[in-house]
Chain A
Amino acid sequence: MGQLLAVKDLTVKFALRRSSLTAVNNVSFSLSRGERMGLVGESGAGKSVTGFSLINLISKPGYIDTGSILFEGRELTGLSDEEIRQIRGNRITMIFQDPMMTLNPVLTIGTQMVETLKAHGNISTRKAEAVAIDKLRLVQIPSPEKRLRQYPHEFSGGMRQRIVIAIALLTEPALIIADEPTTALDVTIQAEIMDLLITLCDLSKMGLILITHDLGVVSEVTEKIAVMYAGKIVESGPTRSIISDPSHPYTKGLVKAIPGNIPPGEPLHQIPGMMPTLTDIPAGCSFHPRCEYAGNICTTQIPDLAPVPSRQSNVACHMISGRLAPSDIGSAARRKRQTAIAEELPA
């Protein structure tokens, strides 16, 4: 398994009149060929911006400030608009959240598929249509020849998302970025679409970055996870170990909130408070106002993402990163002592 994608220290900012906001802060992760990764977090955590910035598709005042994106051995930051255009929609494709909004209502499905192929190579319309029909069949759209001439409004939501997937498959990409691909769909169709996506990824050894707030979905289909909070990755590692034994207090909260982990009749778990907006990210660890383990150090120092001893995952938390034994956390009863220890640490 060769390396497909390596993102290092990626920082994305949004320019304001005089200052700028940091939407994605020093994010690093990597992906092997055919590997699937989940990018998890609440809305506004910067996960979508991270996904979009990979193909330089951040909407206007946003820009990549620093960092490197190495894809198939090629550095993507600093490429010209035309060079990145040839990769975008070709080697890296995207699936959007709401299939009702993704397809252009005034163009036929055929037009929207053929134009994608034509944008990335010299191909005749007839050949392009043949490829399109082929892919529509792959996503199980019945009588694709006829469907090619139809407009988006003649399809149901689930069907449209299949078409969007078919469009993403057209150019046989090496990587698909799926931004909440099932959130807007009926629950009954969600599993169906997700299964289809995974089968197709396996079939042609495509890498997948699954952007979602739903840890439940990620746990079923991805090999690794990066959890984002307020623009930073707070925990990353193999899916299985993170789901079964999360280290960061935020991840713990998320895992607890998966409905399947709660016995019937119990109230659903909630993390108290709200994620900060980009304009007022608290000093120190940005999660500390909501964290039940937070000590004084957390309010002043930003924790680094560092490997957790005896685990495969990386965590950005003062309370774990080797300075305090992991066994010390987990019981609210010991919280006071915890705080006391933290206060003794040099600030």
Chain B
Amino acid sequence: MFAFIIRRVFQALIVMLIISLLGFAIKQSVGDPVREITGISVSAEERDALREKLGLNDPFLVQWVRFLDRAVHGDLGNSFYFKRPAFDVILSKAPATLELVFATALLVILFSVPIGIYAAVRPNAWPARFLMGASIVGVSIPVFLTAILLIYIFSVTLGWLPSFGRGELIEIFPGWKSGFFTWDGLAHLVMPSVALTTIMLPLFIRLVRAEMKEALETEYVKFARAKGLRPSRVLLLHAFKNTLLPVITVGGVQLGILIAFTILTETVFQWKGMGSMFIESIERADTSLTVAYMVFVGFIFVVVNTIVDVIYGLVNPMVRVAGGRS
């Protein structure tokens, strides 16, 4: 088991190294750190001096190691546009994205579990067939189109919901402004989270349904029935509890898709989170910030995936034997 964890962590480190190398190479070829610091109103001699002082004439690998060293200490360079450390900019945008993701996760869990269970128990009933058909339609509609449709219906035509921004915010911690505690903030949250839910929901309904179907076929569920337990207990405790682990682990792997869709959703609704910041940084050619975002998201992603894998390995003895689930 210990060896398994070590191997996973080692692999995670390699992935991080590769991400940082890619990001750094781009930064090297495009961004000019001197420009980031000084702007353009500085003479060529002064720049050269600064260049030497910053070690920018050192070999590529030496600079990369320096970049890594700084990154480990939370220094991902400075944003050209914001004139602030990129890491600080990302952190200031994180609450918006986290709140959007949290609201979406809540909606996905709330709907996917009952619908998935229902579709597994009654696979041939017409509501189940309809829902499975609808889920194919659901994955075929790009998230930004759902978002645009929602805006057209509920903002432009009906005028019920605000179409952009986060609305009125309340600072709950230093640096964390939340929209959860005002009606205006919640109203702004409705459409972005619903749009993001429509694209994630079909994935999870199919997942819950598949796992639940498998669990219902097992001997222990049959034995639970043979013990004369009430059907609700057989379904919700014996079958469903066993689907939780695969649903959580497979769900954890969907994080990459969620991040990508968050970027799209935030762009449509001008939701001032990390995703729209990323797109804006590309448009502004703010390469430091672009790279910093990639390294940061890559880091979170690798950490979450490794934790999920290790938890899975801890609980499921089969993984330890097979040596790695992927």
> What number of B residues sit within 8 Å (CB to CB) of A?
20
* Contact status A88-B228, CB under 8 Å: yes
The 6 closest A-B pairs by CB, nearest first: A89-B228, A101-B219, A89-B227, A94-B226, A88-B228, A104-B220
B-chain residues with CB within 8 Å of residue A85 when the two chains form the complex: 228-231
B-chain residues with CB within 8 Å of residue A225 when the two chains form the complex: none
A87 at the interface (CB under 8 A from B): yes
- Report the separation of the CA atoms of residues A120 and B228 in the bound assembly, to the nearest whole angstrom: 8
Contact of A96 among B222, B231, B241, B242 (CB under 8 A): B222
B7 at the interface (CB under 8 A from A): no
* Contact status B219-A116, CB under 8 Å: no
* Contact status A55-B226, CB under 8 Å: yes
Given contacts A107-B237, A107-B238, A153-B317, contact A102 B219 (CB under 8 A): yes
* Contact status A103-B223, CB under 8 Å: yes
B187 at the interface (CB under 8 A from A): no
B218 at the interface (CB under 8 A from A): yes
- Report the separation of the CA atoms of residues A143 and B237 in the bound assembly, to the nearest whole angstrom: 27
9 additional contacts (CB under 8 A) given A85-B228, A89-B226, A103-B220: A87-B228, A88-B226, A89-B228, A102-B219, A104-B221, A106-B241, A116-B227, A119-B228, A120-B228
Tell me how far the C-beta of B208 lies from the nearest C-beta in chain A, rounded to whole angstroms. Answer: 16
Interface residues on A, range: 20 to 34
A-chain residues with CB within 8 Å of residue B219 when the two chains form the complex: 96-98, 101-102
A-chain residues with CB within 8 Å of residue B224 when the two chains form the complex: 104
* Contact status B220-A115, CB under 8 Å: no
* Contact status A89-B222, CB under 8 Å: no
- Report the separation of the CA atoms of residues A115 and B224 in the bound assembly, to the nearest whole angstrom: 9
- Report the separation of the CA atoms of residues A277 and B229 in the bound assembly, to the nearest whole angstrom: 33
Find residues 24-74 in chain A having any chain B CB closer than 8 Å to their own CB.
55, 57, 59
B-chain residues with CB within 8 Å of residue A55 when the two chains form the complex: 226
What is the 8 Å Cβ interface bit string for chain A, positions 117-137, against chain B (1 contact, 0 not)?
001100000000000000000
A-chain residues with CB within 8 Å of residue B229 when the two chains form the complex: 85, 89, 115-116, 119
A-chain residues with CB within 8 Å of residue B228 when the two chains form the complex: 85-90, 116, 119-120
Find residues 98-113 in chain A having any chain B CB closer than 8 Å to their own CB.
98, 101-107
CB closest residue in chain B, given A82: B230
* Contact status B227-A57, CB under 8 Å: no
A-chain residues with CB within 8 Å of residue B317 when the two chains form the complex: 153
A-chain residues with CB within 8 Å of residue B230 when the two chains form the complex: 85, 119
CB closest residue in chain A, given B226: A94
Chain B binding site: helix, strand, loop or mixed by DSSP?
helix
B-chain residues with CB within 8 Å of residue A107 when the two chains form the complex: 237-238, 241
- Report the separation of the CA atoms of residues A101 and B228 in the bound assembly, to the nearest whole angstrom: 18
Tell me how far the C-beta of B1 lies from the nearest C-beta in chain A, rounded to whole angstroms. Answer: 14
Contact of A105 among B220, B222, B223 (CB under 8 A): B220
B-chain residues with CB within 8 Å of residue A104 when the two chains form the complex: 220-221, 224, 238, 241-242
CB closest residue in chain A, given B228: A89
* Contact status A101-B238, CB under 8 Å: no
Tell me how far the C-beta of A173 lies from the nearest C-beta in chain B, rounded to whole angstroms. Answer: 10
Find residues 186-239 in chain B having any chain A CB closer than 8 Å to their own CB.
218-231, 233, 237-238
CB closest residue in chain A, given B317: A153
A-chain residues with CB within 8 Å of residue B242 when the two chains form the complex: 104-106
- Report the separation of the CA atoms of residues A103 and B222 in the bound assembly, to the nearest whole angstrom: 10
- Report the separation of the CA atoms of residues A112 and B223 in the bound assembly, to the nearest whole angstrom: 10
- Report the separation of the CA atoms of residues A90 and B158 in the bound assembly, to the nearest whole angstrom: 59
- Report the separation of the CA atoms of residues A105 and B244 in the bound assembly, to the nearest whole angstrom: 13
Interface centre among B218, B225, B226, B229 (most CB of A within 10 A): B226
- Report the separation of the CA atoms of residues A88 and B225 in the bound assembly, to the nearest whole angstrom: 8
Contact of B225 among A57, A106, A164 (CB under 8 A): A57
Some 18 contacts from A to B, beta carbons below 8 A apart, are A59-B222, A85-B228, A85-B230, A86-B228, A88-B227, A90-B228, A94-B226, A102-B220, A103-B220, A104-B221, A104-B224, A104-B238, A105-B220, A106-B241, A116-B227, A116-B229, A119-B229, A153-B317
A-chain residues with CB within 8 Å of residue B223 when the two chains form the complex: 94, 96, 102-103, 164
* Contact status A119-B226, CB under 8 Å: no
Given contacts A105-B242, A106-B242, A107-B241, contact A93 B226 (CB under 8 A): yes
Tell me how far the C-beta of A168 lies from the nearest C-beta in chain B, rounded to whole angstroms. Answer: 9
B-chain residues with CB within 8 Å of residue A164 when the two chains form the complex: 223
- Report the separation of the CA atoms of residues A93 and B242 in the bound assembly, to the nearest whole angstrom: 24
- Report the separation of the CA atoms of residues A93 and B224 in the bound assembly, to the nearest whole angstrom: 11
Find residues 128-175 in chain A having any chain B CB closer than 8 Å to their own CB.
153, 164, 167
- Report the separation of the CA atoms of residues A341 and B219 in the bound assembly, to the nearest whole angstrom: 50
- Report the separation of the CA atoms of residues A264 and B108 in the bound assembly, to the nearest whole angstrom: 66
Given contacts A104-B242, A106-B242, A153-B317, contact A167 B227 (CB under 8 A): yes
Tell me how far the C-beta of B186 lies from the nearest C-beta in chain A, rounded to whole angstroms. Answer: 36
What is the 8 Å Cβ interface bit string for chain B, positions 36-58, against chain A (1 contact, 0 not)?
00000000000000000000000
B-chain residues with CB within 8 Å of residue A115 when the two chains form the complex: 227, 229, 233
Tell me how far the C-beta of B240 lies from the nearest C-beta in chain A, rounded to whole angstroms. Answer: 10
Interface centre among B228, B238, B242 (most CB of A within 10 A): B228
- Report the separation of the CA atoms of residues A164 and B220 in the bound assembly, to the nearest whole angstrom: 11
B-chain residues with CB within 8 Å of residue A57 when the two chains form the complex: 222, 225-226
CB closest residue in chain B, given A86: B228
Interface centre among B224, B230, B317 (most CB of A within 10 A): B224
Tell me how far the C-beta of A160 lies from the nearest C-beta in chain B, rounded to whole angstroms. Answer: 11
B-chain residues with CB within 8 Å of residue A89 when the two chains form the complex: 226-229
A-chain residues with CB within 8 Å of residue B227 when the two chains form the complex: 88-89, 93, 115-116, 119, 167
A-chain residues with CB within 8 Å of residue B226 when the two chains form the complex: 55, 57, 88-89, 93-94, 96
Tell me how far the C-beta of A128 lies from the nearest C-beta in chain B, rounded to whole angstroms. Answer: 13
B-chain residues with CB within 8 Å of residue A101 when the two chains form the complex: 218-220
- Report the separation of the CA atoms of residues A12 and B122 in the bound assembly, to the nearest whole angstrom: 22
Tell me how far the C-beta of B55 lies from the nearest C-beta in chain A, rounded to whole angstroms. Answer: 55
CB closest residue in chain A, given B237: A107
What is the 8 Å Cβ interface bit string for chain B, positions 283-326, against chain A (1 contact, 0 not)?
00000000000000000000000000000000001000000000
B-chain residues with CB within 8 Å of residue A103 when the two chains form the complex: 220, 223
